[in-house]
Amino acid sequence: MVAAFAAPIKNAVSPKSDFKQAIEITEASIEQARRIARLYKADVLMRLETDEKQERQFITLTIPKMQKDLVLSEVKEEFPLPIGIQVVSDGTIIRFDPTGEVQLPAHVLVFSNLAQDKSRRLVIK
């Protein structure tokens, strides 16, 4: 099951600039959350988390409920973003329902701490 989370995102990212890589990881994480929600017919939570040293952010996907004979709350995958890139959202958790949709649009801003002109806003509908 963990491979279902990781494989598409790792394959979607090619060696490019850190900013472009962060955009690709973020977009791929959003699409992965939708696919996993539809596949397991369960809510998927997307969180933006920071490591203990406050150096690197991760996009974390989890499935917080039990379905059939699987305890899906233990399924968790983290996707690290490049150092120097920040991702902020208007909510701490973005919830994808079992159809892969979000109730209200969520706004995510990806920006570089190193280059002021590098930012991109994503709207998750």
Q: 100: closest CA among 75, 63, 69?
A: 63
Domains and CATH numbers, the chain: 2-124 (3.55.40.10)
What value does the mean pLDDT take over residues 39-44?
A: 89
Q: 64: closest CA among 55, 75, 56, 52?
A: 75
Dihedrals phi, psi of 101, to nearest 5 degrees: -105, 160
Residue pointed to by tokens 């598409």: 8
The H helix count followed by the E strand count for the chain is 2, 9
- pTM given for the model: 0.76
Over residues 26-40, the pLDDT tens digits come to 999 999 999 999 998
In this prediction, what percent of the chain has a pLDDT beyond 90? 36
Query: How much is the pLDDT for 109?
Result: 92
Q: 97: closest CA among 46, 38, 48?
A: 38
Q: Is 93 left (phi over 0), alpha (psi -120 to 50) or beta?
A: beta
In this prediction, what percent of the chain has a pLDDT beyond 70? 78
Helix axes 18-40, 2-12, angle to 10 degrees: 150
What value does the mean pLDDT take over residues 86-97?
A: 88
Q: Please, which pLDDT band fits residue 15 given cuts at 50, 70 and 90? A: very low
Q: What is the dihedral of CA 55, 61, 64, 66, to 10 degrees?
A: -140
Contacts of 22 (CB under 8 A, 6+ apart): 81, 82, 85, 87, 110
